[in-house]
A and B are shown apart, each in its own frame.
Chain A
Amino acid sequence: MEMPDIIEPVSGGGGVPDAVLTAENLTYSYRAREGELPPRVLDGIDMDVGRGAFVAVLGHNGSGKSTLAKHFNAVLLPVGGRVLVEGMDTSDERLTLDIRRAVGMVFQNPDNQIVASVVEEDVAFAPENLGCPSEDIRRRVDEALRVVGMSEYGGHSPHLLSGGQKQRVAIAGVLAMEPKCIVFDEPTAMLDPRGRGSVIRIIRRLCGELGVTVVLITHHMDEAIGADRLIVMSDGRIVMDGTPREIFSRPDALAAYGLDTPETVSLLRGLREDGFDVPLDALTVDECADAILSALAVRPA
């Protein structure tokens, strides 16, 4: 199989007409020690996220993916280049509140995101801060808890919930702001498989049914399979950009960036070595089983 050394991003900045998020030649470095050059954590990122898209950003630890995520609601500001949210420049302090209203963030550790001692009050925190009238707050809280499947826990104390349930409350808290876009920064890293599954299902629904634009930062390959588009980062740059099928059928390139392919793709690759005529892009368990069956069917019986 031919394998280019450098894979060019499919799209650059300014390419999508109705972009919710845009980064243009974005660079960022944390403060360096005296006498040292600051290492570039982000090094010339150009990207757009279209309205209603589900974009997953993959990268090894230290690739810059979380730093990128924090630029999308002005938690961090660019050192070079710029970031636009719905056309608003994140470096303009007068727009910070509007930007945070448009883009909500969910972080890795659910315990760091819960502020109140009752679930409902926690979810109401943001709309209250936005100055919403109380009947509107009630509606938003009920709706947000319904979407994440936590309606029956409204009166509970968050600290008795499981990690997955806490993370769903954190998502409800963000939903109650009715943002255009939600950026998830490794939301399942601290959860068990059950919690992970519930959070990922909700993320897919947000995008599919509610039309929320979703950016999911993760290094779990199986979570990225459901995305419309996958961006791979390494050393502060975008090194691959395409559909999950396109990206995952390049296992050598992924390995070079410290990432694995999903187990399904590794298996299909091995089967090819064994002389089976299978594709590399049967990503889910069912697709993979189908691919194997059809490869077997063409053998002389």
Chain B
Amino acid sequence: MAPIIKTEKITHVYSTGTVFEQAALTGVDFQAERGEYVGIIGHTGSGKSTFIQTLNGLIKPTSGTVFFDGTDIRQSKARTREVRFKVGLVFQYPEYQLFEETVFKDIAFGPKNMGLPENEVSERVREAASFVGLGAGELEKSPFELSGGQRRRAAIAGVIAMRPQVLIADEPTAGLDPSGSAEIIANIGAYRRSAGATVVIVTHNMDEIARNADRVAVFDRGRIIIDASPAQTFARGEELTAMGLGLPSAAMIAARLRERGLRLPDGIITAEGLRAALREFKKGAGGGNA
């Protein structure tokens, strides 16, 4: 089976032909499988936001090809339009884009645009709302009566209501408190499991990636320079730090412990992983063969 989404040598240049000409992406090859959870990291200006907008055709790369389920998304106008619904994109601070009178109408915007009959639209709105934990009471309110976290979730529901096969989110937890962030990540995970969807998340939260992602793509100056499992990625701590990126806390603590002579296995990136390694270490020490 073809990967659900794939890019071949995409390059994108902003303001072509002016003094401000700047390459945002240079020859990016990327692919994601069905059901995969991919984390995208990179500092501001590394090209990651431009990249994700090429995946559903919002930005047409200067050169290169984007494939959805094996076919070029630019093959025909109809194909491009179809891909807009199948690859759902949640922007940064999406709550600023709510504009309807009620939360219901806002979530219904996407499915209505798809030309679905009214009863199907309502069903999808209720289904999407339940994924993000919004009840019937909230659906009839104005988006402006919701809290910041609820507004963010309503905006995500608007994308989920299109039942995308790929859900892409640009820093979906930015500016939220820890419990609000955890809810959003759980909501996205629930949709992924239920729909078998692929999830691509841009984030600065390395602990979140260490816990959830199957794979990490690291962007630097318009290229993907690491594309590996979280454990392999965070093993390259010095490179990441040099790029201004952080590491999961557990990986930093494990690195300090190794520096001070503690023999720990590689690939520790979560608190659970470090706990398991330390339990093993203690057992070994107790048995006298540390």
List which B114-151 residues lie within 8 A (CB) of chain A.
147-149
Chain A CB within 8 A of B213 CB: no
**A299 with B288: CB separation less than 8 A:** no
Chain A CB within 8 A of B252 CB: yes
Contact count band on B: 35 or more
Cα separation A266 to B275 with both chains bound (whole Å): 11
Chain B CB within 8 A of A215 CB: no
**A270 with B288: CB separation less than 8 A:** no
**B175 with A60: CB separation less than 8 A:** no
Contact with A along B163-187 (1 / 0, CB 8 A): 0000000000011111110000000
**B250 with A293: CB separation less than 8 A:** no
Cα separation A163 to B49 with both chains bound (whole Å): 15
Cross-chain contact of B253 among A162, A195, A288 (Cβ < 8 A): A288
- Give, as a whole number of angstroms, the nearest-CB distance from B237 to chain A: 12
Chain A CB within 8 A of B257 CB: yes
Chain B CB within 8 A of A271 CB: yes
Chain A CB within 8 A of B285 CB: yes
Chain B CB within 8 A of A219 CB: yes
Chain B CB within 8 A of A259 CB: yes
Give the segment of B25-33, B74-82, B105-113, B241-249 that binds chain A.
Answer: B241-249
Query: Which 7 pairs across A and B sit closest by C-beta, in order of nearness?
Result: A263-B249, A289-B256, A260-B178, A194-B244, A219-B177, A258-B179, A60-B177
**A270 with B275: CB separation less than 8 A:** yes
CB neighbours (8 Å) of A301 from chain B are: 285, 288, 290
Cα separation A270 to B275 with both chains bound (whole Å): 7
Could you list which residues of chain B lie within 8 angstroms of chain A, going by C-beta atoms?
A: 43-45, 147-149, 174-180, 204, 207, 244-246, 248-250, 252-253, 256-257, 260, 262, 271-272, 274-275, 278-279, 281-282, 285-286, 288, 290
Chain B CB within 8 A of A208 CB: no
* A-B residue pairs in contact (CB < 8 Å), sample of 5: A60-B179, A193-B245, A194-B44, A296-B285, A300-B285
- Give, as a whole number of angstroms, the nearest-CB distance from B181 to chain A: 9
Cα separation A190 to B175 with both chains bound (whole Å): 7
Cα separation A276 to B279 with both chains bound (whole Å): 9
**A62 with B285: CB separation less than 8 A:** no
Closest to B249 in A: A263
Given contacts A162-B44, A274-B275, contact A293 B176 (CB under 8 A): no
**A267 with B179: CB separation less than 8 A:** no
CB neighbours (8 Å) of B175 from chain A are: 108, 186, 189-190
Chain B CB within 8 A of A264 CB: yes
CB neighbours (8 Å) of A11 from chain B are: none
What number of A residues sit within 8 Å (CB to CB) of B?
A: 39
CB neighbours (8 Å) of B149 from chain A are: 61
Chain B CB within 8 A of A286 CB: yes
List which A92-109 residues lie within 8 A (CB) of chain B.
108
**B148 with A62: CB separation less than 8 A:** yes
Cα separation A300 to B285 with both chains bound (whole Å): 7
CB neighbours (8 Å) of A275 from chain B are: 282
Cα separation A292 to B281 with both chains bound (whole Å): 12
Cα separation A27 to B262 with both chains bound (whole Å): 53
**A267 with B204: CB separation less than 8 A:** no
Cα separation A213 to B278 with both chains bound (whole Å): 42
Closest to A293 in B: B260
- Give, as a whole number of angstroms, the nearest-CB distance from A178 to chain B: 31
Chain B CB within 8 A of A228 CB: no
- Give, as a whole number of angstroms, the nearest-CB distance from A160 to chain B: 10
**B177 with A61: CB separation less than 8 A:** yes
Cα separation A266 to B271 with both chains bound (whole Å): 8
CB neighbours (8 Å) of A192 from chain B are: 43-44, 204, 244
**B204 with A274: CB separation less than 8 A:** no
- Give, as a whole number of angstroms, the nearest-CB distance from A195 to chain B: 7
Given contacts A61-B177, A193-B246, A263-B250, contact A292 B278 (CB under 8 A): yes
